[in-house]
Amino acid sequence: MIVALMGYMGSGKSTIGKELATVLNYKFLDLDSVISDAEKSSISDLFKKKGEIYFRKKEAFYLNEILKSENHVVLALGGGTPCYGNNLQLLLKQSKVSTFYLKLSLPLLSSRLFKEKNDRPLISHIDSEEALTEFIGKHLFERSQYYSQAKHIIDIDGKSQQDILEAILMYLI
């Protein structure tokens, strides 16, 4: 089985994914890290030097490779992965893939991401929490139609890592 975690940046896909992989005794893969390692470039540099279209093509390619070749994996998707090309359909049609949307509210996302915005190229230029909230709100409005198609939606507001893990495991067992 492949457990695919989706959600907006800052929703905890990598953090929860690593813990979940440990509990399940699965391998953990972060799709952005797979792309970065394979392309020998950071994601922000790929966007700057080769553009978003190039990145999205590579994202779809590596996602496809993982789905063909891996099993017993927890996969943290990039925030935009389910929203481009046929990535979401590819994930949903595979019986060996179980998709989870880690749903965090706009105020909590904004608060969490404002503290780490300098480490996130997409939002590093935003200088107020209000502007960041507006930016994220627009993105969530566009992306929620994709995220909401996950087989399982886990509302993670106010939940501990342990609570989130237990909620995911309930669906897997």
Q: Please enumerate, by residue number, every residue annotated as part of a binding site for ATP.
A: 10-15, 120
User: Would you list which residues are annotated within the binding site for substrate?
Assistant: 32, 56, 79, 143
User: Would you list which residues are annotated within the binding site for Mg(2+)?
Assistant: 14
What is the identity of the amino acid at 2? I
Q: List the structure tokens of 172.
A: 């897997």
CA 35 and chain centroid, separation = 13
Torsion sign over Cα 77, 33, 67, 163? negative
User: Would you list which residues are annotated within the binding site?
Assistant: 10-15, 32, 56, 79, 120, 143
DSSP per position, 39-51: HTS-HHHHHHHHH
